């Protein structure tokens, strides 16, 4: 470990996936940087601090090693790759992360599949990440760990490197204590997270759920700001992730955008547009959304020729059985709607099971009269923010699930219960009939908020919290002349009053404050 501490400290980022795409052309690997999301907000501080980004590069290996060429390419970009075998990828990522933690944290307890052997692999991979981070970090560095794949890393890293300032951010919901307590490894999850100095969530509800779980599962006292654990104060913060708003504000006159807008205008043929854009996942509520559209057409048949719905369902984990069944269900619903209400030359529902280019998304967001963002449960949901950011005026209507984290930030949207198709259908109808003045009343404050509370504001808040912890941990040393002057004043005084802290000074830190008692030696 280097002895000299960096005056500023580098930023060490740790995530399941590195923000890259590894390609191979003519037998030679190449690395392409990914854009958007966390990469947009964190790449600047990562680069400016000459830090490292640690994560899996997206390639599996039979022997658990990275090809030397890939390692060299990553190193040149300030990245460290964590190798995973095919078995590790399946059991750590597909089984524990996606089939245990993902459904549990999204309240789909009937979909939770847990195998102790898979958890052992999850622990092994988390330890590999922790060891790589401990080896890479220098004294004074700040470590920022991302998401539910790596919830054991903070405590593992704390044990290896107690000198580091460690932050963790959870990008999915944190469930209520009643849900978390179902999970066999609930204590390990909580203690793993409490290895961090700062734990971030998207909403205050998630911080409240975390505090409740800490009290009920670990028996620890908590406050509105944090948890006392292991002689440290672990700070809890709520900071919703923003988007890169300017990236969605490309002028409509740009050739690629203009071409997409023209295609949509021709396809709509004067009809109003209802838009849904989601990854195909059982948490996103796509079947419920299609059922609500079907109810609208049943109850208001005059809308059949006046409105069209476009639902983009981006393929996701299609190899998993539950996702294949979801895809079949959505396709059947789409076919039923079009067979019942369509006719030659008129298709009310355009269901697209594919990803679409960003230029197409921007055009869709701008052309849509109503955006349906109705997940059954979502940590935040950036689609809602993208729709708002892409608008060129204060028009359009956002229908947003009350169970999306973004609902707490976008209070002007039309909030709905996604489990109630009537609620969604009524909001669709209201949105289609809403006048321009009311649309502006709802949209204008959301546009301003999305533009100011962007991904860079999120980054600044999270790293600011880490910097605060780091500053508090760095004791202010007396300079030579200050120490001499203080000593002279102290010894020359007739009366002296000493102020001493209690916890951590006269008595050791304890999980419960009432257990912090002075030792017999101190009392003597």
Catalytic residues: 501
DSSP state of 346: B
Distance linking the first and last C-alpha atoms of the chain? 41
CB 288 within 8 A of CB 418: yes
- For 105, phi and psi rounded to 5 degrees? -75, -15
State the angle between helix axes of 455-473 and 38-48 in degrees (0 to 180), rounded to the nearest 10: 40
Half-sphere CA count of 56, side-chain side, radius 13 A: 21
Give the sign of the dihedral formed by CA 410, CA 414, CA 418, CA 419. positive
Q: Which two tokens stand for residue 3?
A: 């002895």
Q: Which two tokens stand for residue 489?
A: 């004043």
Across 204-341, the runs of DSSP E, i.e. the strands, are 226-229, 232-238, 272-279, 307-314
Q: Which two tokens stand for residue 142?
A: 């700040």
Q: Which two tokens stand for residue 316?
A: 């996701």
DSSP state of 410: -
Give the residue carrying structure tokens 């605060």.
Answer: 468
Can you tell me whether residue 11 is helix, strand or coil?
strand
Q: Which of 83, 64, 81, 62 is nearest to 72 (CA)?
A: 81
Radius of gyration of the chain (CA): 26
């Amino acid at each position: 470990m280097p002895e000299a501490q960096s005056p500023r400290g580098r930023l060490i980022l740790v995530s399941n996936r590195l923000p890259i795409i590894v390609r191979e052309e003519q037998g030679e690997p190449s690395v392409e940087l990914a854009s958007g999301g966390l990469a947009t907000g964190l790449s600047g501080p990562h680069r400016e601090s000459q830090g490292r980004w640690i994560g899996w590069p997206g390639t599996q290996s039979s022997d658990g090693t990275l090809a030397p060429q890939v390692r060299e390419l990553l190193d040149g970009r300030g990245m460290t790759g964590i190798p995973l075998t095919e078995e590790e990828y399946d059991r750590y990522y597909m089984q524990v992360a996606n089939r245990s933690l993902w459904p549990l944290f999204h309240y789909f307890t009937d979909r939770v599949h847990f195998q102790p052997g898979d958890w052992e692999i999850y622990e092994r991979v988390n330890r590999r990440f922790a060891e790589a981070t401990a080896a890479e970090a220098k004294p004074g560095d700040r470590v920022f760990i991302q998401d539910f794949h790596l919830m054991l890393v903070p405590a593992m890293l704390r044990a290896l490197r107690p000198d580091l300032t460690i932050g963790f951010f959870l990008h999915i919901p944190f469930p209520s204590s009643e849900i978390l307590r179902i999970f066999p490894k609930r204590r390990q999850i909580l203690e793993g997270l409490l290895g961090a100095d700062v734990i971030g969530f998207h909403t205050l509800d998630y911080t409240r759920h975390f505090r409740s779980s800490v009290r009920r599962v670990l028996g620890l006292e908590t406050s509105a700001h944090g948890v006392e654990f292991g002689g440290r104060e672990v700070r809890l913060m709520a900071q919703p992730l923003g988007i890169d708003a300017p990236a969605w504000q490309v002028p409509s006159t740009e050739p690629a955008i203009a071409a997409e807008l023209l295609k949509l205008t021709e396809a709509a043929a004067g009809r109003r547009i209802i838009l849904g854009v989601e990854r195909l996942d059982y948490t996103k509520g796509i079947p419920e959304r299609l059922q609500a559209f079907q109810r609208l057409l049943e109850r208001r048949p005059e809308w059949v020729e006046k409105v069209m719905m476009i639902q983009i369902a981006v393929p996701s984990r299609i190899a998993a059985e539950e996702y294949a069944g979801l895809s079949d269900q959505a396709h059947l619903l789409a076919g039923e709607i079009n067979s019942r209400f369509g006719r030659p030359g008129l298709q009310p529902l355009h269901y697209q099971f594919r990803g679409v280019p960003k230029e197409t998304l921007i055009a869709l967001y701008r052309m849509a009269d109503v955006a349906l963002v109705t997940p059954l449960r979502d940590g935040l949901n950036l689609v809602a923010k993208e729709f708002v950011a892409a608008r060129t005026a204060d028009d359009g209507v956002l229908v947003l699930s009350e169970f999306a984290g973004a609902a707490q930030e976008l209070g002007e949207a039309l909030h709905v219960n996604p489990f109630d198709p009537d609620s969604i259908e009524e909001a669709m109808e209201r949105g289609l009939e809403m006048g321009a003045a009311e649309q502006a009343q709802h949209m204008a404050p959301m546009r301003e908020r999305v533009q100011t509370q962007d991904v860079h504001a999120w980054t600044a808040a999270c790293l600011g919290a880490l910097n605060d912890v780091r500053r508090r941990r760095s004791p202010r040393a007396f300079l030579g002349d200050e120490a001499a002057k203080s000593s002279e004043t102290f010894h020359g005084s007739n009366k002296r009053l000493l102020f001493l802290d209690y916890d951590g000074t006269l008595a050791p830190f304890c999980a419960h404050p009432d257990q912090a008692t002075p030792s017999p030696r101190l009392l003597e």
